[in-house]
Structure 1
Amino acid sequence: MSTTGWVLLCAFSALLGLVLPRPRRRHPDRQGGPTDEATFLTLHIAAMAAPSLRAGLTHESARKAVRHLRTLLGTSAVAVADGGGLLAWDGAAGCHRDHAPEHARIVLASARPHVVTGEAPACDAPGCATRGGVVVPLTVDGRVVGTLAAYDAVVSVALVRTVTEVARWVSGQLELAEVDSSRRRTMEAEMRALRAQMSPHFVYNALTTIASFVRTDPERARELLVEFADFNRYALRRARDFTTLAEELHCVDRYLLLERARFGDRLRFTLRVAPEVLSVSVPFLCLQPLVENAVKHGVAAAGRRGEVRVVVSDAGAEAHISVQDDGLGMPPERARGLLDGSVPPPGEEGGIGLAGVDVRFRQIYGEDYGLIVESAPDAGTTVRLRVPKLHPANSYL
């Protein structure tokens, strides 16, 4: 193993807690020493390998990560395998490549590290100095999903310990990949639930309204049918987790046009949007349920003329959105119950509701980004939410 490799091993061991040096006070003008350089290099290499590992244990991710892992370990060769065989190999000792799957099977069967010594790794290739190896299991949720193997001229105690710690770090990245995958599956399930929960009464009422115009105003019926198709194309499409605020507002506009055809002059609506926030990423179908709630439990329940106002403003690092109606309103304690799910909306027929949107926003952006409901009897209801413009979750768009 090269001198640089030993320095990297020591640095990685220190970062993982095997050796934790006491911080030393340095003069501000003094340049960092070899330890600082090794620490930086170790972190840099780990950072380069991490994105590939966060994709899970596949041929592609292993191929991208194995070169960085060999640099990190400083050994002559590194192999990554799973139950299906060798995923990736990096190193000069290609003559040992065919032995790696056999070594991996031993570890996969025992779920324990395995040291390859003696005659096992020997070969007749000229100039091959590899005479040993360390094979360590990679685990996710206690399950062995693969192996990490490092091959070199000498197998020392330090190498065994360091390969074990690197495997722990790789396993941690694979755990995060599993969490990411679980999160995506959860959000996909939520999307399917959202589509399934689109109020059947809205669909029925919209089609009934359109049918009422077929004889009296065929052109109006045709226009409404196009609006209904446009709304459903967006709401029922195979969507990603996020969309732009412009697309979400377009869906809201189509929904309100259909409801206006149903309620006539009883429903007035206003959309006021700051143009600079139209490109902001938002969770798919996050506004339409709030507007539907305002129409159904605000205007329709009041039995008189009412107005729904949607205001989207630019607030620097965030976009602020409010959905307001001038309907019957409710006591503050009932508003709180709507959010925590303890109080179902009156006449709820399976719609998405405020609680679903509130939970999604808290899961995606954090507890500080839940809905705020302001209401009082005979004073209407206002629902407010904030969307951060720059957030890691928005990268799913």
Structure 2
Amino acid sequence: MRDHDQSLWRITCREDAKSCSLSDGLTVDLAVIGGGFTGCSAALTASKAGASVCVLEAEQIGFGGSGRNVGLVNAGLWLPPAEICKHLGDADGERLISLLAAAPDEVFGLIEQHNIRCDPVRSGSLHCAHSPAGLRDLQTRHAQLVAKDAPVQLLSASEAAQRTGSAAFHGALFDPRAGTIQPLSYVRGLARAAVEAGARIVEHCPVVSMHHEDGVWTLKTGQGIVRAKALIQATNAYHRGLPDTATNYVPVYYFQFSTAPLPETLRSRILPGGEGGWDTGLIMTSFRLDAEGRLIIGAMGNLAQAGHSFHAGWIKRKLAELFPELVEQPLIEGWHGRIAMTSDHIPKITRIGPNALSAHGYSGRGIGPGTVFGGLMAESLLQDNPALLPVPAVDEHRESWTGLRQAFFETGAALTHFVKARF
């Protein structure tokens, strides 16, 4: 079976972090488990503040969802503002809305500051209405976002067609704050910047046990022991072992395929402004171009399971439906990643022990929130100030029927793609 870890992003990545081996007896101010957006942002923030930091990654930096991401740098969450405040309350909701509204500024600011070679394009995003009902949803979102002073625009069907190069949409919500990046290059660039600031990155180093005693965390790995005053667990949907600190979420898979670089005649008509896009469908479709002009299209589904052929067949049909000019373009690379979904679609921070925090549940919005959450978690622990956290920490977060809900999402996606690929 094909290795679906071998994404386009791994092939085109231009960043790397200098990994080191772990010498026994290392003691640091902050240990970070997991080398994705959250962990690398935390490491960079803490190192720049003068703290000693060690990142322990079971595979390679960006191996998990961060390196398999679509690469859309969006402001906010999937939820409209009113729903965020409904779940968090007005004060905490407004704080999170404000922080994540500025998340693209944070991401693109770090890219510029540290010269991260991740093909950044800040041309905005297009949330496209796949149906009249989808357009009504965008109208509601537009009204709520404008009320929060977000500079968003509601586009007509003809305007959406001009921006996307597709006549399939009933309108679109344009957000100029957003953009696209090569996500694996971005996360590895964060790690490289953290190393330059003094952090240690140790790859292929899963943590096998950990305990807290006398104000110090002791983390045992196959390479040695790390002792730390504070701890961040940033494993999200790729948590391994350590059952006592396992996060609770619904695993949802998302796959992508890419074309070869398109000829200039097509690039000038398809997403000519460089925006990234996705639609309002329940089984969502995303689409964007990369720096070489490949069209990358994705949707919910696991390419490593039985539904692989349904997903692959459907994506070809969907590509032709959205962009008829690409009907003859072969789809080359195919890969998938795992998303940690929460019932309310709001990320969670849990206390996993003294001076120890874990974050998970970005529900498909990993780049901006992961960057913001990682940095603020590091600041909160180093300054012993919980008020700095983007959301209040909880002692435990539980989701019900996670296995059944995972099966529901995957079966629903496979059946939808099976039916639509054939008719």
Shorter-normalised TM range? under 0.3
- Structure (1 or 2) with the greater helix fraction: 1
- Give the number of the structure whose alpha-carbon radius of gyration is greater: 1
Q: TM-score, normalised by structure 1?
A: 0.18
Higher RCO, 1 vs 2 (CA within 8 Å, ≥6 residues apart): 2
